Structures are given as structure tokens and as C-alpha cells.
Amino acid sequence: MQVKQEIEKEKEATLFAGSSLEFSVDTDTNRIVVKVVDNETRELVRQIPMEEMLALAKAMNQLQGLLLRTKA
């Protein structure tokens, strides 16, 4: 188990080498978004949370608002 954890740490370190982090707030969900961007190509390497999760959170917020309006 220890070896697997060390491999994961090395994989993460390699992923972020030569990359920069960009922080922003998603306007629809008010959630913090972290983007890992390649310094040379400016290509998006990874986004946390993923776009799909932000879309899901937005849809849930809309449904919650709809439920509150129908109960009032």
C-alpha cells in the first residue's frame, strides 16, 4: 500500500511540473475552480472541479430554486 501511495505522489508531482495553477470562482455556482495549465502551450491539463460537476451543481441549484418557488 505504501508503494502505491508513493507512486501516486510522484505522478501528481510530474503532472504539475511545468504547469501553473489558476484560481477563479464559477459565477453560476459560486464555487472555486482550480485550473492546471501547461506553461508552454497554455493548454488546460486538469480542472477541479470538472466542467461536468459544475454543470451538475448548477442544475441542482436551479431545481432547488424551482422547488422553493412552487412551495411558496
pLDDT in tens, 46-59: 999 999 999 999 99
Contacts for 20 with CB less than 8 Å, ≥ 6 apart: 36, 37, 39
Count the domains in the chain.
1
29: containing domain:
2-71
pLDDT grade for 43, boundaries at 50, 70 and 90: very high
pLDDT in tens, 6-35: 877 777 777 667 888 899 999 999 999 999
Query: What's the pTM value of the predicted model, to 2 decimals?
Result: 0.65
Residue 15: per-residue pLDDT: 67
